[in-house]
Amino acid sequence: MRGKYIKGKMIAYDGSQLRSHWAYLEHDVQGNSVVAFRGPCRVGEKDLVDVEDRKKHQEIYSEDMTHFIIELFDSDLDRTMVIQRLFMCIIKEAIEELMPQIIVDRRGDDLYLEVEGEGEEDRKLSVSVATASPVSTLIHAGVNVVSRNTPVPTLGLEDMDISVDDFILKVLQNFINEMKDVDQTRSKVRGVI
């Protein structure tokens, strides 16, 4: 698993980055990989990968997000969706390590901060989707940096006083370490009959 943080360059995520070989073609990261970057997000209804969201005529929008694009060449969609949920757990742990007084709630592949008070909606922290291409499987995960003007109630890293760079680097390193550990563990166990 290779990783790269495109630091210091804002990249607008519009869904077109969720395609095979994007990491290699655009950022020279070949093979199983995770590429992180920061920038605004706008995915219109016709470009949504999630068919349920598309049927509801929703769009994804944020003025500023951290984005992670994961590409796997040795995985089917079921395994990729499990890895997607593992990745969201790693994001949850990173937020809680950087801001210990916050408890993040993971619901499937989404992260929320529960808000107490009658009539208050929980704040959504993330977006995430997994899909397949003819040669690989792909995951996009985005975490809000700011919470202004989003189509649903959200919370961002800035609202929680979390450094964007520290967050991205922690998530990248923890995910890469986890995937390397899985590979190593797989190679040290013997088969049983």
pLDDT tens readout for residues 100-136: 999 999 999 999 998 776 667 789 999 999 999 999 9
DSSP 46: G
pLDDT score of 56 more than 70: no
Dump pLDDT digits (tens) for 153-172.
Answer: 899 999 999 999 999 999 99
pTM of the model: 0.92
- The DSSP output letter for 152 is S
Host H or E run for residue 24: helix 22-27
Give the pLDDT band (50/70/90) at residue 193.
confident
The domain defined by 2-177 carries CATH number 2.60.120.10: no
Q: How far apart are CA 161 and CA 122, in angstroms?
A: 18
Tell me: pLDDT of 69 over 90. yes
**pLDDT on residue 39:** 97
E runs forming strands in the chain: 2-10, 33-43, 60-72, 104-107, 110-113, 123-124, 126-132, 137-144
